[in-house]
């Protein structure tokens, strides 16, 4: 597996509308895309900081894992996403061979048309980790 860069940081927020003024007006970043990912029950807003993106995640249902995360831990950094160059499935196979617990056994579709898969924080030193590829 080859990690090329940090693709984005996922940040759990209660409301994108309430969070955006901080990112746009105070930090001076620009939101360039807002998209709902139905199967994950989230609405996402993307901002760019150099080559790294921030992905704001707002729950669209109380059943959303983001809603549960906010309930337990409050708003904050939710996951770290690495871009991999040689396929998410290859990376997952390699992770499994290293006895890393997988949340997704196979890549699925994420926001911005990426192929994504999550690794369990219990085997990634406490950080929910996403692997993604265009
Ligand atoms: Zn993500």
Range of the domain at 10: 3-133
Residue 124: which CATH number? 3.10.180.10
The tally of domains found in the chain comes to 1
Q: Which residues contact 77 (CB under 8 A, 6 or more apart)?
A: 9, 10, 11, 12
* Ligand 1 centroid, distance to 77 Cα (angstroms): 11
pLDDT tens string for the chain (134 positions)?
Answer: 999 999 999 999 999 999 999 999 999 999 999 999 888 899 999 999 998 999 999 999 999 999 999 999 999 999 999 999 999 999 999 999 999 999 999 999 888 889 999 999 999 999 999 999 98
pTM over 0.85: yes
CB atoms within 10 A of CB 57: 25
- For ion ligand 1, residues whose CB falls within 5 Å: 10, 55, 81, 130
């Amino acid at each position: 597996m080859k990690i090329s860069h940090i693709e984005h940081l996922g940040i759990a927020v209660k409301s994108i509308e309430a969070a955006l003024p901080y990112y746009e007006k105070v930090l001076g970043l620009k939101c360039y895309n807002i998209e709902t990912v139905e199967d994950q029950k989230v609405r996402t807003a993307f901002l760019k900081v150099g080559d790294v993106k921030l992905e704001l995640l707002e729950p669209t249902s109380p059943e959303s894992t983001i809603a549960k995360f906010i309930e337990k831990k409050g708003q904050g950094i939710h996951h770290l996403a690495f871009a991999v160059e040689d396929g998410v499935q290859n990376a997952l196979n390699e992770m499994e061979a290293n006895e890393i617990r997988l949340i997704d056994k196979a890549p699925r579709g994420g926001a911005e048309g990426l192929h994504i898969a999550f690794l369990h924080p219990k085997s990634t030193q406490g950080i929910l980790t996403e692997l993604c590829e265009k």
